[in-house]
Amino acid sequence: MKFEAATIKDIAKALGLSTSTVSRALRDSHEISTETKQLVLEYATSINYRPNPIALSLKEKRSRSIGVIVAEIANSFFSQAINGIESVAYDKGYNVIISQSHESYDKEVMTLQYLASRSIDGLLISVSTATKDLEHLKALHERGFPIVFFDRIVEDIHTHKVMVDNFRGAYDATMHLIKQGYTRIANITNSENLSISRERVAGYIEALAQKNIKPRKSLIKYCFHGGMLLNEIEEAINQLLKVRPRPDAIFTASDKLTTGCMRVLKSKGIRIPEDIAVVGFSNSDIIELLDPPLTVVRQPAYEMGQIAMELLLQLIESKRPVKDFERRILATSLIVQGST
């Protein structure tokens, strides 16, 4: 049996009223008596009546819906950011439609087209590793569509951007390893296409340079899928283990890369930190349960989501075109534990 939502016509027919009377009663119009309003509202509640969102969006020219595109919801960083987004959105009366690109440019384009066709009021996006061509985003932005980038940003589109201090986070992680006596420090990071990869590699290199340690290209490995494919991490580690002298520490630059790296090292019987120390970016709740507990750079993901949503609402609800855009950079924190 096909579900059919209750309508104003259903209420009018049941109560013997006109649809216009029911409509005005639901809007709390002064034209309708208190007794009739109460009658209509009580009956509407009893049949679980809800206004048709499509009809409302046509009338108000707003859907009160926000599109969010991330690489993967299962990634603890993105799930925490989404929680921050929703905390602000629902408080302001907006619904959130969440989609995953799975690091695919084609999926990102297709998803954006779908969301735009559903008349969302604005978009929050962290671009995929495969996204080089920005035409799908530029086309919407040039038509005045509100877009805010968070975490993985692009420089070519002039709008609000929210990120962490990737350079400093990577610098602090690498400097911590150096102070612990490690000198042959490898770096496993995401795709070179991403802003976060470039900034984190730069922080890693700067820390080495300050301690007169020459960066070696053979110790920097890029994983295009950012840890979503375990065999990609395993291949990177296999290449690092062939380098002579072998790395004595690994800095991993994202959530999935960090936990995946520990998994691969343990499968190979490599002790952490006795054989190789590990430090990485991670917001996972399980880091303290690992053996040994993992030293990590934590990002304020929840706060990032909140700020990105607040900035998007500014764009959506502004009465005039916004010309001054913010670039919010949030501080990371280094949590030192047993893996280093």
Q: What is the pLDDT of residues 90-136, one digit of tens each?
A: 899 899 999 999 999 999 999 999 888 777 899 999 999 999 999 99
Residues 340, 333: Cα–Cα separation, whole Å: 16
The reported pTM is 0.81
Nearest to 66 by CA among 17, 118, 18: 118
- Residue 212 burial (CB count, 10 A): 6
- What pLDDT digit, counting tens, does each position of 224-269 carry? 988 888 999 999 999 999 999 999 999 999 988 998 999 999 999 9
For CATH 3.40.50.2300, the residue range(s) in the chain are 63-164+301-332, 166-299
CATH number of the domain at 63-164+301-332, out of 2.60.40.2130, 3.40.50.2300, 3.90.950.10, 1.10.287.130?
A: 3.40.50.2300
Residue 213: DSSP 8-state: -
Nearest to 187 by CA among 199, 152, 128, 179: 199
Residue 176: DSSP 8-state: H
pLDDT computed for residue 24 by the predictor? 84
Does residue 180 carry a pLDDT above 90?
Answer: yes
β-pair partners for 100: 70
pLDDT computed for residue 167 by the predictor? 97
CATH number for the domain whose boundaries are 166-299: 3.40.50.2300
φ/ψ (deg, to 5) at 249: -155, 155
Strands 147-150 and 122-125: parallel
pLDDT computed for residue 268 by the predictor? 94
Determine if the peptide bond prior to 245 is cis (ω within 30°).
yes
- What pLDDT digit, counting tens, does each position of 310-325 carry? 999 999 988 888 888 9
For residues 302 and 283, the answer to whether their CB atoms sit within 8 Å is no
Does residue 28 carry a pLDDT above 90?
Answer: no
Q: What percent of the chain has pLDDT over 90?
A: 64
Residues 18, 11: Cα–Cα separation, whole Å: 9
